[in-house]
Structures are given as structure tokens and as C-alpha cells.
Amino acid sequence: MQPVVELKNLSKTIGKKKIIDDLNLSLYPGQITGFLGPNGAGKTTTIRMMVGLMSITSGDVLIEGVSLSDDFEGGLSKIGVIVENPEMYKFMTGYKNLVHFARMHEGVTKERIDEVINQVGMQNRIQEKVSTYSLGMRQRLGLAQALLHRPKFLILDEPTNGLDPAGIREFRMYLRKIADEEGVSVFVSSHMLSEIELMCDRIAVIQNGKLIDIKEVAEVQESHYYIEAMPLETAETFFQAKGFTVESHKDGFIINAEKPQIPGLIQELTTLEHQIFIVQPHRKTLEDQFLEMTGGGQIAEAHTK
């Protein structure tokens, strides 16, 4: 599968400090990628370079093979952007806002405007003034506006900020629909790990300006099991003696065993007169994995420079 977007040795130096260091990343059609990083990691700087709001020191951004360095307007024409809460003309209806933004792109027809209205489920409210919309409705209108020119790549920076749980779920549903039906590559920067886990197909993690990991969100870690047994200390010693990694967790511990190994291990532990209370697969959350990757760095990044 050919990538929609390629970051090639993307770097940014401000003064003597290298903010982004040779970043390489490919983003694919129909795939939603989450972009995570601790405070000051370089998320916002990367996004600013991707949309032309900040100059690139070295490297390049390619959108469907079009270099932003060589053809800025051509590359940018393939991008849709939503940054936190989209700004709309509140005294105008949702529909008139879309008509206004449609004039900024060539070839956006009335039929296309109606199509994006349907895509984000705004048929019943589109003729009402934006001042009457909830934050969730304004987010949906912003999504419709970003899709008017049929972008191949959609960048969302903190798209669910301020939304209630119902609004977040609704926005996530429309985003998934657009990725699946339109084949749009979606790039989401957010500090809400639980939402990234539900929304995205994979995550890219940046730290100190470097891409440190890319992994599939759906990757289930079945090679870990949570066990509660008594006496606890001797049970842990039993597994350590057999070469397993033992990590304390809640009232028990986690071991890195494979599923076929578990019955024999538990049977052997029972013969050593241990009481077994719980044995269950343990899947590490995205938060667990993020903290492991970054060494416990805080994820929120509101104003990276």
C-alpha cells in the first residue's frame, strides 16, 4: 500500500537547539494514526511544519508524492485541518459557513456540500445559526468544512477538547466512517490516551524530537498473565526461578508467559501448596505502554514551541 503522507528526515532547529530530529513516518489511506508525546516532545512543531505554519530546517513532507518544499500549494491542497475548536461565523447558519469556506477551494459544488453535511450527520441542524450549536455540533461542522475539498490527509490537533463523553463518541464514529468510506489518512494529536486507544489504528510516539516507537493499537498482549496466589512472595519466587519476568500489580503480579504454558505452571504451583485465586490474561493499556516507552513522561502538550 502506498503511503498518503511521508515525513522524510524532517528536522527543525531553532537557534542552536534541534527541536525535531530526522523524523521519518509514513501514513496510509483509511488508517487513523495517533500522535503522542510528553511535554515538549515536538508534536505541535511537527504538525506546524506539516501544514506550512512553520518552516522546515531540513527534510521534507510529501503528500501523495507532492513535496511541500517544491510545490507548497499543491501539497497543501490535499490536506484538511482541524485545530482544537474550529472557528466559525456564529451569526451565520452552518450551511452558509460551508458555502463561504467552499469558495476557498476550486470545484466544490453544492452537491459536495450536501454530501459532507450528510457524512457528519448535520442534515437537521445545518440551516440554524452556529451560535445555537453545542461544542459537539461545531466540531462536526468543522469536520465537514475540512472535508469539502476531498482531502487525502486529515490532521486533527486535540479534536475532542471540551467535548462531553457523548460528543467524543459521536465525533469518533464520524471520523471512523470517513477513514473507512473515503480512504482518508487521519493524523490525530491528543493527550486523551483512552480516546486515542478507541479511535486509532496505530500510534506514533515522539520524545525529545525523535520518533521512538510506532505500534498497532489493536495489538493484544496475550503473552502476559495476571496472577493472585498465596503465599504471594513464594509464588513470585517460583516464577522468577523459572526465568519469567515478574511485575507486581494490584494484589498479585504479572508474568510474561505464553498461554500454553499456563496450565502446567498453575498445576505445579498448586502442588507446592499455593492457593490460586485469579489467573487471567493481562492486556496493557495504551497508558501503560506509553509510560513504558517514554519512561513516565507526561503526555499533555498544549504549547510546544
Per-residue pLDDT tens digits for 208-242: 999 988 888 766 445 789 999 999 999 999 999 99
pLDDT reported for residue 84? 67
The two beta strands, 5-14 and 58-63, are antiparallel
pLDDT reported for residue 296? 66
Per-residue pLDDT tens digits for 99-151: 999 998 888 999 999 999 998 889 999 999 999 998 888 888 998 999 999 99
Q: What is the dihedral of CA 253, 194, 10, 17, to 10 degrees?
A: -70
pLDDT reported for residue 26? 95
CB 60 within 8 A of CB 43: no
Residue 31's identity, in one-letter code, is: Q
Can you give the pTM of this predicted structure?
A: 0.76
Residue position matching grid coordinates 498518503: 4
The two beta strands, 17-27 and 5-14, are antiparallel
Ranges of the chain with pLDDT below 50: 220-221, 299-305
Residue position matching grid coordinates 457524512: 119
In angstroms, rounded to a whole number, what is the distance separating the alpha carbons of residues 228 and 147? 51
The closest alpha carbon to 256, from 285, 276, 231, 281, belongs to 281
DSSP-derived 3-state class of residue 114: helix
What does the chain come to in residues?
305
The closest alpha carbon to 25, from 208, 192, 212, 199, belongs to 212
pLDDT reported for residue 304? 39
